[in-house]
Amino acid sequence: MDWQSTSVEGIARLADETPETSNGSGHRARLRARLLNGGDGALADYEMLEYLLMTAIPRRDVKPLAKSLLTRFGGLAAVFNADPTALAKHPGMGETSAAAIKIVALATRRLARTGVQDQPVLASWQALIDYLTVDMAHLNHERVRVLYLDTRNRLVSDELLSEGSLDEAAIHPREVVKKALDLGAAALIMVHNHPSGSPEPSRADIQITNKIAEAARLLGITLHDHVIIGKEGHVSLRAKGLV
């Protein structure tokens, strides 16, 4: 084989198929037993990731790979929220392994979303925060979204408005309100994340919130809250008296 002409993607695919050299079936059996019979703390983060990678790479010791992913991306949640292309190109990975990680991330988001569907959002606030945290807390860029609610405060639509900073160049108050009218929504909740980790609102966060709240009020639509999500927790602008 001409290794000099082999692409990075080709090497990654070959890595998926490399035979196991050190992780024996006994280790995998013990890991599986701990997973099935233990509680939430039965496996360390690297072991959970290792077990998942075993399903995608069945004939190779994947413990070093699991640990290298955690080191590179900064933790388990960050691995699951990583860009699929970056995962696939990580040494020892490939598209099959990246897909195994992303399907778990997708399933986690869908499970979290079930806690806020078909029931009043304001009465299930912690479920909403859990859902938003799973989806946004570990992103390395800002994501802005609006949750549109009906007259009973049930979720009508979860709209992604922007992948970038929260400012009027990206978010137009009139467009936010127009979408509410199009959906027949009676209320809305703004949400965005701070990649820095701290959820404390900036002056720009407060200013754009007030403009959207005023535009909505003029048309009989209520802005319930603006929630900022970060690795360090979340902040409600209403709870701070800023809405």
Q: Is the backbone of residue 194 left (phi > 0), alpha (psi -120 to 50) or beta?
A: beta
Q: What is the DSSP letter of 182?
A: H
DSSP symbol at 208 = H
Class of domain 119-236: alpha beta
**Predicted structure pTM score:** 0.69
DSSP per position, 17-36:
HPPPSS--HHHHHHHHHHHH
Whether the per-residue pLDDT at 22 is higher than 50: the answer is: no
The predicted-structure confidence for 188-201, as pLDDT tens digits, reads as follows 999 999 988 899 99
Neighbours of 64 (CB within 10 A): 14
The pLDDT value recorded for residue 2 is 39
Residue 4 pLDDT: 40
Pseudo-torsion of CA 13, 19, 25, 30, nearest 10°? Answer: -40
Quick one: which of 85, 146, 76 has its CA closest to 105?
76
d(CA 28, CA 152): 50
Report which of 234, 223, 158 is spatially closest to residue 189, judged by C-alpha positions: 223
Determine the average pLDDT of the residues in 215-239: 94
Residues 26, 198: Cα–Cα separation, whole Å: 44
pLDDT band at residue 25 using 50, 70 and 90 as cut-offs: confident
Residue 84: phi and psi, rounded to 5, are -55, -35
Say how far apart CA 48 and CA 86 lie, in whole Å. Answer: 20
pLDDT digits (tens, 9 = 90+) for 110-153: 887 776 776 788 878 888 898 888 888 888 888 899 999 999 99
Q: What is the DSSP letter of 124?
A: G
How remote is the C-alpha of 95 from its chain's centroid?
Answer: 20
Q: Are 89 and 82 in contact (CB under 8 A)?
A: no
Three-class DSSP category at 197: coil
Which range among 32-41, 157-166, 188-197 shows the weakest confidence by mean pLDDT? Answer: 157-166
Helices assigned H by DSSP within the chain: 8-17, 25-37, 45-56, 63-73, 76-80, 84-89, 95-114, 125-136, 173-183, 203-217
CATH 3.40.140.10 domain locations along the chain: 119-236
Q: Using pLDDT thresholds of 50, 70 and 90, give the confidence band for residue 101.
A: very high
Q: How far apart are CA 35 and CA 28, in angstroms?
A: 10
**Do the beta carbons of residue 146 and residue 166 sit within 8 Å?**
no
